[in-house]
Amino acid sequence: MQGELLPLFPLEVVLFPRTSLALHIFEERYRQLVADVVAAQSEFGIVLAREQGIVNVGCTATVEMITRRYEDGRLDILTRGRRRFEIRTLDDEKPYIRASVEIFDDDDFTDPPPQLKDHALSACLALRDAVSEQGPEPELDDPQLSFQLAQVLPDLDFRQVLLRSRSEAERLKMLAERVPAYVARARYVAQVRRTAPFNGHGRSRNQS
């Protein structure tokens, strides 16, 4: 996007390419942002917001649909991730932040080993099952399958690491190695929630 300024929407979210994200827009400056990008049929950037500021790598998005307009001006929209970018400079001339960015994609296009893909897929599907999350089935022919699989991850820092990675094989390897720990933790939490109402005698506490 050389020569253009990309509107930025800082959120506690990490968006991946070709994945959907529903947003509720209530601040006036971001209502203006949505109005501007819809009128221009252009992209805006979603970047992870932290206490110390925004991170410098994000993902562009387009507004797929305005699903609801409220009488007070608020909006519900459905967006879709498009391209990854790195921020070069920031501009604050408008009510919302804009940035000069460099679009990037993977550098390593080597086909990952099928076994690696299978391990990452199995781990992420197990996590989705453990947290009882419903979602579309992954498109297995997607050359960047890792981004679909990573949708289930609750860890924003890990999601950001994956977003920055420029290798599908590297992303799948990280998923295969690290997601089983999230699965174990999610299953433990679910077990605690199931057993917490009981006192060890097969009766709920309020029946003791």
37-85 pLDDT per residue, tens? 999 999 999 999 999 899 999 999 999 999 999 999 999 999 999 999 9
Q: How far apart are alpha carbons 104 and 164 in whole angstroms? A: 9
Cα–Cα distance measured from residue 165 to residue 150, given in angstroms and rounded to the nearest whole number:
13
Rounded CA separation 27/73 (Å): 9
**What is the pLDDT at residue 47?**
98
Beta bridge partners of 11: 48
Q: Which pLDDT score, from 0 to 100, does residue 190 have?
A: 81
CATH 2.30.130.40 range(s) for the chain read 6-104
Instruction: Evaluate if pTM is beyond 0.95.
Output: no
Q: Which CATH code, of 2.30.130.40, 2.60.120.10, 1.10.10.10, 2.60.40.10, is assigned to 6-104? A: 2.30.130.40
Question: What pLDDT, on a 0 to 100 scale, did the predictor assign at position 153?
Answer: 95
pLDDT of 191: 84
% of the chain at pLDDT higher than 70? 92
Residues 146 and 172 sit within 8 Å (Cβ to Cβ): yes
d(CA 70, CA 93) in angstroms, rounded, equals 28
- Average pLDDT in the chain: 92
Dihedral sign (CA 163, 169, 174, 175):
positive
Residue found by looking up tokens 């992209």 in the block: 43
| The pLDDT of residue 208 | 41
Residues of the chain with pLDDT under 50: 204-206, 208
At 3 the pLDDT is 63
